Amino acid sequence: MVFKFRMMSDESDAFVRDYEVMYDATLLDLHHFICAELGYDEGGMTSFFTSNDEWERLREFTLEDMGEVSEDAALPMDSVTLGQILHKKRDRLIYLFDMFGNRAYYLELTGAVEAEEGVEYPRTTNANGAPSDQYDPTVIPDDGGSIFDDAMGDFYDFEGDDAYDDDFF
């Protein structure tokens, strides 16, 4: 089984990534893949969080084992697979890539499909917009504008029809 994800950023309206990842991949596998795909260093302090529908952080999964022993203690990324924490379409993850700046990407499970024979997973199926700078939140990605602006571009050019009469009476 392959999970399909959409990843977005609150720092850039143009940034979006669609990923396909095997359901039995660990969160650490996903971390490595995201870092490689975005050109990030893997050594920073990062965490995944499960999330509710309002993108509020729930359970934390850390890069390093924190050694805490309690029911709600953070678990290490390498001990948890995607299939263990994601169970239905629209389940969400938050990927905190800048712990000190509290900067994150937001992943939503958009579907699950059978793996295609001969295809290597994980893989990126859609990439739009530049990623945020990993370490400097003041660097604005040169992403060419909003996806919404691109989609609405034809409508912005519409000047109307002067011969059209709004009066119905």
The number of angstroms, rounded, from the C-alpha of 33 to the middle of its chain's C-alpha atoms is 12
Tell me, what's the pLDDT at 72? 77
Inter-residue contact 15 to 129 (CB < 8 Å): yes
Q: What share of the chain is helix, strand, coil (3-state, %, to 5)?
A: 15, 30, 50
* Per-residue confidence (pLDDT) for residue 32, from 0 to 100: 97
Read off the pTM: 0.80
Contacts 24+ apart (CB under 8 A), 61-67: 61/27, 61/85, 63/28, 63/31
pLDDT at 151: 52
pLDDT at 83 (0 to 100):
96
Beta strands at 2-9 and 16-22: parallel, antiparallel or unpaired: antiparallel
Quote the pLDDT of residue 115. Answer: 95
Q: What's the confidence (pLDDT) of residue 152?
A: 52
- Give the class (CATH, top level) of 2-156: alpha beta
To which residue do tokens 């499909």 refer? 113
pLDDT string in tens for the chain (169-residue length): 999 999 999 998 899 999 999 999 999 999 999 999 999 998 778 999 999 999 999 999 998 877 666 677 788 999 999 999 999 999 999 999 998 889 999 999 999 999 999 999 999 999 999 999 888 888 866 655 555 555 555 555 556 556 555 554 4
